[in-house]
Structure 1
Amino acid sequence: MELDNRTYRSKRRKSKKWRVWTLLSAILLGAAAVWFWDEYVPTGKHEDPSFDGMGKPIFYQGSMLDKPAQGQAESLKLPFDIVKELVDPTMIYEAASDSTIITTQDKVVRLRTSQLTGLMNEKPFNLKFPLEKIDGTLYLPMEPLKQLYRIELRESADTGAVIMAKEGDAIRWAGAASYPDKPDKTVAMRKEPSIKSPILADLKQGEEVMIWSEDAEWYRVQLKNGYLGYVKKGQLASERTETIPKDEQPPSFVPPKLAGGKINMTWEQVAGPKNPDTSKIPAMPGLNVVSPTWFHLDDAEGNLKNLADPAYVKWAHNQNYQVWALFDNGFEPKQTSEALSSYDKRMKMIKQLLSYAQLYSLQGINIDFENVNTKDKDNLVQFVREMVPLMHEQGLVVSMDVTPKSGSEMWSAFYDRKALIESLDYMMIMAYDEFWASSPTAGSVASLPWVEKNVVKLMQEDNIPADKLILGVPFYTRIWTEETVNGKKKVSSRAVYMDNPQKVIKEKNLTPVFLPEAGQNYVEYKDGDKLIKIWIEDEVSMKARMDLVKKYKLAGVASWRRGYENPAIWELIRTSLAQ
C-alpha cells in the first residue's frame, strides 16, 4: 500500500511538472509569436494622408513650405517671401509705393499691388491677375514670373498641391516594383519609416514617385499629388533622373570690343561749365575710352547737374575714343541716401542719364559714388540693378568705380562689390591713395605690393572676374614734408603731376633710389629743418602696374587723370597692353 502511494505521488509530481512546462512553452511560444508579429508582420491599417491643415501647400525638394499658394492654373499665386527665397533673392518689395520690383539680366519689372498694369523696362504691360495681399501676405501672380524665370510649378488637380522645380534641379524618380504573378499587388507608402506605421497610399505597380532621401531600409518619397511618405527599399525599381533644363541663352548684351583689345581709359576732370580745350590735348596713343566727369547728383529728389559738351564728344569720336561719361553722387551722403531710397527717385536718375546718353551719342556710363552711408549699401546695388538693363537696351556699357576693400564705412564698406559685379560690365578699382592727403604718415600713393594685394582680394573674396576688372592707376604723386613743430613731428603733403618730381630731381641734383618694398623709385632731401619725401610715379612704376594687368589678365587700365601724366607714358601703356 505504501509503495502504491509513493508511485501515485511521483506520478502527480511528474504530471504537475508537465503541465508547468506545457504552460511555460505555451507562454514562450505566444511571446515569440507576438514578438514575430510585432517585428516582422506589417500592419495593414490605413490612414488618410493630409497636409497638416494647409489648404494649398507648396513643396520644394520634398519639403512643405510654411505658406500656401492661392488660385489655380493661370491664376496661381505664390507668397512673395517664398518666391524671393527660392527663385530670386534680389527681388524687393518697396513698402512706400506698395510695389514689387524684379530685375533680371535684361529686364526691370515693377508691379504695384492690386493693379493690372505693370511696367517692364518702363513700358506698360497688362496682367490678367494682380498682386494681392491675403491675410497680410503679399501674393505674386506666377504667369508673368514664369516668363522671367525658368521655374516649373506642377499643380495637382486632385489635391491642389504645388510642387516647384527650378532650372538645374535634379529629381530622382522610381516606380513601384512589379509582381507579374500578382498583378493586383500594391506597394505600401507609409506615414513613418516603419512597417507598423499606417499606410497612406497603396501604390500600383509601376506608379512613379519622387525620392527625396533614404536611409539603410527606407526611401522618403512624394507622390505627384504632393503627399509624402516612406516606401521600403526593394519595393521600388526603374529609377530615372529628371533634370530641369537650364536657360542657355547667350547674354543679351556684350560690351563691344575696343581697338587694342584691352580697355585703356582715362578720366577727364570737368570742374565747371567750361570743358577742356580739345585743340590743346596732345596725342594719347593707345587710348580708346575717355570718361569726362559730366553728370552729378544735384539734390535729394534725383535731379542731375549736367556739364556735358557736344564738342568734346565730337572730338573724342574723331579720335576713335568711346565716351563713357561719369556720373557721381556729389559725394553728399545725405542727399545720396534720399535719392536712392525709392524706385521713383532711382528711375528719375536713370531716365536722365538715358536721355543724356542719347542726346550726346555716348557709349557708356561710369558710376562714381563715394562717401556713402553703409545703410544705403542695398539701395545702391538696387540702383545699379535697375539701371543696367535699361542702359544695355540702349547699347550702353556700364562700369563703376570702387575703392580697395577696408573697414572704412564712408570710403569702402558701403560697396557690395560681389553683388554689384553681377550687373556691371566692368568694375574699376581705384588703386590709389594708400597714403592719402592728410595721412599722419608719409608714404606711397599706391605701392605695388599694396595694389596687387587689393586686386587679388577683389578677385578672391568678391569673385570679381578678371575680364571685368579694370586697374585704376594714378597719374599723380605726393610730395611729403616732415618737420618738428613744438616737439612733435608734423606731416603734410601736396599732390603733384607726374613731371613735378622730375623737375625737383633735376633742380636738386638728386639720385632716385629704387625701393623694392614699394616697387617704386624714391627720393628725399632736406629743406632747412624739413625732410622732403617723394615716392615717384614714372615709367618704372607704370610698367610694374601694366605687368599686374598682364599677370592677372585684367580687362585693362583706367587712369586718374588726363592732364597729370607725362605724355610719354601713353606709349608705355599702349605697348604693355598690347603684349
Structure 2
Amino acid sequence: MTFCGLMALAFGIWIIYLKFVPNFSYFDIDYGAEHPIVFNGELMKEGAVLENGEPKLPLSVAQLAAGSKESIRYEEQSGSIIMTTSDKVLRMKTEALTAALNEKPLELRFAAEARDGTVYLPIEPLEQLYGLYAEVAESTGIVTVLAAGQAVQLAEAVEEAKMRSEPTIRAPIVEALPANAVFRVWGEKDGWYRLQSPGGYIGYISKRDVKLREAEKIPEPERSEPFVAWNKPGQKINMTWEAVYNRNPDPSKIGPLPGVNVVSPTWFELLDGDGKIRSKADAAYVRWAHRNNKQVWGLFSNGFEPERTTEALADADTRFSMIKQLLAYAKMFNLQGINIDFENVYTKDKENLVQFVRELTPLLHEQNLAVSIDVTPKSNSEMWSAFLDRRELGRIVDYMIVMAYDEHWASSPKAGSVASLPWTEASVKRIIEEDGVPPEKLILGMPLYTRIWTEKQGESGVEVSSKAVGMDQVADIIAQRKLKPEFDESAGQHYVEYEENGALQRIWIEDERSAASRVGLVRKYDLAGVATWQRSFGSAEIWPAIDRFLKQKS
C-alpha cells in the first residue's frame, strides 16, 4: 500500500474512532463554590450559603430570579433590605430575625447576612413575595433556583446514561446516571438535550437515550386583587388643585364646582431631611368635598427644596417615616388619595424618588388610596425634568399628571403662552411614545391662569416681565379696555395686547376655547382626565364648560 493509501486508511480509522468510539474519561467538575447556584440552566458567578440546610441567595441572584433588580434593594449604610411587589413591601435588616411586611411584624427563621462584601438573602421571604423556588441537591450541594410561573420540561433516562460536558460522545463524562433518572431540560443542540441532573450538574445526553415527560410548573405567589384607583367606569377624572398657603379656604365660599370630582389641596410638605411632614389638612374642607361628591387627594410636596429632599429620600428608615405619616394623615382626614409633587430635585436622586414611590404605593393601596404623581413635560432641565424617571414611575403609580403649563415661565426672557396647544400635545405624546406610560394613566394638567407680559424698551433692548393672573382678572381687563381678542392660530388660543404706561401688555388668554382644545387632547389620546391649576384662578363659567367638554363623545 502506498504511503498516501496508508494515510487515507489512518484518517478513515480516526474518523470512525471520533464518530463511534465514546470517551470513557470523567470530566473534572469544579463549579467554583461550595454551593454553586444554577438558574435557568446557567451557572451563576456567585454561590449560595446554607444555614441548617436552608439556602441563602446572593443579592444579585435574588434580583435576577425575581425578575427585577429594582424590586430588591440593599442599603449598606443601615443594612436595610427592602423587597417590593405590586401589593407588598417587606423591610428587614441584615443579622435580624424580625421584619415588617406591609407594616405588620414578620418573624424570620433565618436572617439576611453580609459576608465578604456580598449580601445573602434567606429563601423564605423570597418565596413569599416572588414565588422563588430553591432546592439543594444533597449529593453535591448545588442549589437550583426556579422563578415563579416558570415551566421547565422534564425528561427521563430510558436506560443507564452518560451525561457529557459537550454534545458529543467524545466529550468527557460529567455524570453516569441510572435508568429512570429524571432531568430538567434546558435546551438542545445537535441531537442532544442540555440537561440538569438530579445532583444539579449541567451536561448533555443524546436525545435517543431519554424520553420527555410532563413539564414542571412553579406556582405563582398569592397576590391581592389588583387595586382599582377609579371605580367610576366611563367617567373621566376632573381634578382641580386647591392651593393652600397660610390658611385653608372657607368651603362655604368656594361654590359648587360642577363636574369636578377630585380636589387636591396642597396640605402636606416635607420639612426636613429627617422626613418630618407638616400638615395643613382641614376636616371641614374634607366634609365639604364629600358632601359634594368629590374625592380628596391630599398633595405631598418636597417644598421644592433639593437638599432636604436628597437627605430624606436617601435612607430607608426616613422614607418609611414619611410613608407612615402620610398613611396616618390619610386615615385621620378620610382621604381617597395622595398626590406626590416633588420638584426642583437633583438628578442624582432619580432612583431614590422612584424607590420612595415603589415603597409608598402598595401601602397606600392597602388603605384604598389612589396614588398620583405630578411630572413636568420633558426638557433638558436638570432640576425640573431630568430627575423624573417617567417610565419607571408610570409602572408604579395609578396616575401621572402632566403639568402642561409654564411653557413660558414667570421669568422667561420671551413673552408667550403659558401652554400653547401644539406644545401641550407634544408634551403628552413624548411621555406616551418615549416613556411608554399608558394613556389611561395620564391626566392632562391644564392652567386656569395666564400671564400678563410687559414689554418695554430698556437700555439694552426690550425688557420682559410678567405676572400671573386668573380668568376673572383677564376678563375684567378685556371689558374695561374694550379689547377685542383675536385667535392666535399658532398657540391655539385667544390673544390681546394693549399699551399701559408706555409699555406693551400682552396676554394669551385662558378661556373656554383653550380649555375645549385641551380637553380635545384628552379625547384624542383617551387620557384618564384633566387636572387644573388651580381652583381659585378659575371663573365660575369654566367648571361647567370643562365638564361639558369632557362628556362630549367626539
TM-score (normalised: structure 1): 0.89
- What's 2:18 paired with? 39
- 1:118 equivalenced with 2:99 (yes/no): yes
Closer, same or farther in 2 for the Cα pair 1:503/1:74, shift >3 Å? farther
Closer, same or farther in 2 for the Cα pair 1:448/1:168, shift >3 Å? farther
- 1:161 equivalenced with 2:135 (yes/no): no
- Aligned residue pairs, count: 550
Closer, same or farther in 2 for the Cα pair 1:250/1:117, shift >3 Å? closer
Residues 55 and 143 in structure 2, CA contact (< 8 A), matched pair in contact too:
no
Residues 51 and 227 in structure 1, CA contact (< 8 A), matched pair in contact too:
no
Bigger Cα displacement from structure 2, 378-387 vs 239-248: 239-248
- 1:401 equivalenced with 2:381 (yes/no): no
**Secondary structure of the corresponding residue to residue 86 of structure 1:** helix
Q: 2:48 aligns with which of 69, 76, 93?
A: 69
> Deviation of residue 243 (structure 1)?
4.8
**Secondary structure of the corresponding residue to residue 275 of structure 1:** coil
> Deviation of residue 202 (structure 1)?
3.7
Bigger Cα displacement from structure 2, 160-169 vs 69-78: 69-78
**Secondary structure of the corresponding residue to residue 348 of structure 2:** helix
- 1:512 equivalenced with 2:512 (yes/no): no
- What's 1:223 paired with? 197
- What's 1:357 paired with? 330
1:389-426 Cα offsets, whole Å, 9 max, x none, are: 22222222221111111121110111112222333221
- Code of the residue aligned with 2:59 in structure 1: it is F
Closer, same or farther in 2 for the Cα pair 1:44/1:259, shift >3 Å? closer
- What's 2:113 paired with? 132
1:516-571 Cα offsets, whole Å, 9 max, x none, are: 32211222334465332221111111011111111111111111001111111111
- 1:424 equivalenced with 2:397 (yes/no): yes
- Code of the residue aligned with 1:46 in structure 2: it is S
Task: Name structure 2 gaps, 5 residues minimum.
Answer: none
Residues 65 and 145 in structure 2, CA contact (< 8 A), matched pair in contact too:
no
> Deviation of residue 487 (structure 1)?
4.4
Q: 1:440 aligns with which of 401, 405, 413?
A: 413
> Deviation of residue 214 (structure 1)?
3.6
- What's 2:174 paired with? 200
The separation in 2 between residues aligned to 1:381 and 1:559, in whole angstroms, is 25
The separation in 1 between residues aligned to 2:517 and 2:5, in whole angstroms, is 95
The separation in 2 between residues aligned to 1:428 and 1:251, in whole angstroms, is 25
- What's 1:342 paired with? 315
Alignment of 1:495-574 (within 5 A): 495-527=468-500, 529-574=502-547
Residues 74 and 142 in structure 1, CA contact (< 8 A), matched pair in contact too:
no
Residues 268 and 293 in structure 1, CA contact (< 8 A), matched pair in contact too:
yes
Higher-Rg structure is 1
- Code of the residue aligned with 1:374 in structure 2: it is T
> Deviation of residue 158 (structure 1)?
2.1
- What's 1:144 paired with? 125
Q: 2:241 aligns with which of 263, 267, 288?
A: 267
1:417-457 Cα offsets, whole Å, 9 max, x none, are: 22223332211111110110111111111111111111121
**Secondary structure of the corresponding residue to residue 405 of structure 1:** coil
Residues 478 and 484 in structure 2, CA contact (< 8 A), matched pair in contact too:
yes
- What's 1:285 paired with? 258
- 1:89 equivalenced with 2:69 (yes/no): yes
The separation in 2 between residues aligned to 1:244 and 1:530, in whole angstroms, is 74
1:60-85 Cα offsets, whole Å, 9 max, x none, are: 12210011112168622111222123
Task: Name structure 1 gaps, 5 residues minimum.
Answer: 1-20, 179-184
- Code of the residue aligned with 2:174 in structure 1: it is L
Q: 2:183 aligns with which of 193, 209, 214?
A: 209
- What's 1:371 paired with? 344
Closer, same or farther in 2 for the Cα pair 1:238/1:81, shift >3 Å? closer
**Secondary structure of the corresponding residue to residue 451 of structure 1:** helix
- 1:413 equivalenced with 2:389 (yes/no): no
1:122-179 Cα offsets, whole Å, 9 max, x none, are: 3322111111233332211101221111222233222221222213434344444x5x
The separation in 1 between residues aligned to 2:124 and 2:488, in whole angstroms, is 64
Residues 87 and 224 in structure 2, CA contact (< 8 A), matched pair in contact too:
no
1:282-307 Cα offsets, whole Å, 9 max, x none, are: 22111111111111111221112221
Closer, same or farther in 2 for the Cα pair 1:259/1:419, shift >3 Å? closer
Closer, same or farther in 2 for the Cα pair 1:565/1:428, shift >3 Å? same
The separation in 1 between residues aligned to 2:267 and 2:179, in whole angstroms, is 72
Identity %: 48
The separation in 2 between residues aligned to 1:37 and 1:260, in whole angstroms, is 75
**Secondary structure of the corresponding residue to residue 21 of structure 2:** coil
Closer, same or farther in 2 for the Cα pair 1:351/1:387, shift >3 Å? same
Residues 49 and 227 in structure 1, CA contact (< 8 A), matched pair in contact too:
no
TM-score (normalised: structure 2): 0.93
Residues 259 and 288 in structure 1, CA contact (< 8 A), matched pair in contact too:
no
